[in-house]
Amino acid sequence: MIDLHCHMLPGLDDGAPDLATALAMARMFAADGVTHVACTPHILPGLYHNTGDQIRAAVGAFDAELRNQDIDLAIFPGADAHMTPAFIQGLRSGHIPTLGASRYVLVEPPHHTVPQRIEQFFFDILVAGYVPILTHPERLRWINDHYAIMQRLAAHGVWMQLTAASVTGAFGKNAQYWSERMLDEGLVHVLASDAHDVHRRIPNLSRGRDAAAKRLGDVEARHLVITRPWGILSDEPPNAMPAPPGLLPSDRRTARPGDPRAEAADGRDHPGKRGWASRLRNLFE
Ligand SMILES: [Fe+2]
């Protein structure tokens, strides 16, 4: 399996505090059946001032430690980059690293309030030639009142990454409800551990994969932890990879109520700009 979201690099954020913990996490990844990991420290102005150069250097140094310790894990740079006004500028300058230098980038929205113009924010990243992967939508407080935003973002080319432990219930009933609903609606592209340590938020991708397989079957579960993550690290275009079941082209599936490609699902959110949706489809289909 391939894990594209974790906080294993020592001392860069609220993840592994030291090398011993980072190495213990790496051993847990390998024991769990993970072969490739993107190391994605937080980038959050005012709190975590990591830069692409620092993260790439830290990955190089940690890779040498893995070899010294004979831990069989391939690691890649990335970031858990919070929404900021200069996001695209940061991508272009390399200040915000993409996943393994691909076109794919983790984007973490605020947890407690829905940002104004969030759809325009993600649209601008797509138009700039990157594919934003929205991290753990199921754990954001505002999903309860604004789920239609997630449906529209997914339908318009934003990728969705669930946390493995949400699917197994470790983040509580609310996160489990939304992760199961998004899986059942076929809106999820990637599952990742978002591991921070070896006690509480641990490398545990296989349990999430198994829980997803019970809902979607083994083939789609494999896409969540192998096919799409591998395509991301290989920088394959999004339409070269299998679409999640709810996002298949309309001629390959049956329309149903609640279709995420339908605009404005719940009436509380208003899509406003239908124009950009169709422009995006032309870009990515
Ligand atoms: Fe994270």
In a structure prediction context, what are the per-residue pLDDT tens digits for the chain, which is 285 residues long? 999 999 999 999 999 999 999 999 999 999 999 999 999 999 998 899 999 999 999 999 999 999 999 999 999 999 999 999 999 999 999 999 999 999 999 999 999 999 999 999 999 999 999 999 999 999 999 999 999 999 999 999 999 999 999 999 999 999 999 999 999 999 999 999 999 999 999 999 999 999 999 999 999 999 999 999 999 999 999 999 999 999 987 656 554 444 444 443 443 443 333 444 444 544 444
Q: What is the Å distance from ligand 1's center to 267 Cα? A: 31
Residue showing tokens 């020592």:
10
Q: What is the Å distance from ligand 1's center to 264 Cα? A: 29
CA dist., res. 245 & res. 224, Å (int):
12
Q: What is the Å distance from ligand 1's center to 107 Cα? A: 10
Q: Quick one: tokens of 166? A: 């949400």
Q: What is the Å distance from ligand 1's center to 43 Cα? A: 10
pLDDT at 253: 58
CA dist., res. 251 & res. 16, Å (int):
46
- Give me the half-sphere count of Cα atoms (radius 13 Å) on the Cβ side of residue 212: 33
CA dist., res. 69 & res. 147, Å (int):
45
Residue partners of 246: CB distance under 8 A and separation at least 6: 154, 185, 186, 187, 260
Q: What is the Å distance from ligand 1's center to 54 Cα? A: 17
Q: What is the Å distance from ligand 1's center to 249 Cα? A: 31
Q: What is the Å distance from ligand 1's center to 55 Cα? A: 14
Q: What is the Å distance from ligand 1's center to 1 Cα? A: 18
- Give me the half-sphere count of Cα atoms (radius 13 Å) on the Cβ side of residue 267: 0
Contact 136, 6 (CB under 8 A): no
Q: What is the Å distance from ligand 1's center to 270 Cα? A: 29
pLDDT at 143: 97
Q: What is the Å distance from ligand 1's center to 255 Cα? A: 34
Whole-prediction pTM: 0.88
Centroid of chain to Cα 211: 18
How far, CA to CA in Å, does 92 sit from each of 57, 154, 225, 237?
A: 19, 24, 28, 18
Q: What is the Å distance from ligand 1's center to 42 Cα? A: 7
> How many beta carbons lie within 10 A of that of residue 155, not counting itself?
20
Which residue in 275, 50, 268 sits closest to 142, CA to CA?
Answer: 268
Which residue in 107, 134, 151 sits closest to 277, CA to CA?
Answer: 151
Question: Phi and psi (nearest 5°) for 175?
Answer: -65, -35
Q: What is the Å distance from ligand 1's center to 13 Cα? A: 10
- Give me the half-sphere count of Cα atoms (radius 13 Å) on the Cβ side of residue 223: 17
Q: What is the Å distance from ligand 1's center to 196 Cα? A: 8
pLDDT at 268: 40
Residue showing tokens 């896409």:
223
The arrangement of secondary structure in 2-284, i.e. its CATH architecture, is Alpha-Beta Barrel (3.20)
- Domains of the chain by residue range: 2-284
Q: What is the Å distance from ligand 1's center to 275 Cα? A: 32
pLDDT at 270: 38
Q: What is the Å distance from ligand 1's center to 79 Cα? A: 8
Q: What is the Å distance from ligand 1's center to 254 Cα? A: 35
Q: What is the Å distance from ligand 1's center to 6 Cα? A: 6
Q: What is the Å distance from ligand 1's center to 40 Cα? A: 7
CA dist., res. 258 & res. 117, Å (int):
23
Q: Quick one: tokens of 53? A: 């150069």
pLDDT at 252: 61
Question: Phi and psi (nearest 5°) for 206?
Answer: -65, -35
Strands (E), the chain: 2-3, 36-39, 42-43, 74-77, 80-82, 104-108, 131-135, 159-163, 190-192
Give the pLDDT confidence of 11-54 residue by residue, as tens digits.
999 999 999 999 999 999 999 999 999 999 999 988 999 999 99
Amino acid code (one letter) for 140: L
Contact 34, 205 (CB under 8 A): yes
Q: What is the Å distance from ligand 1's center to 219 Cα? A: 26
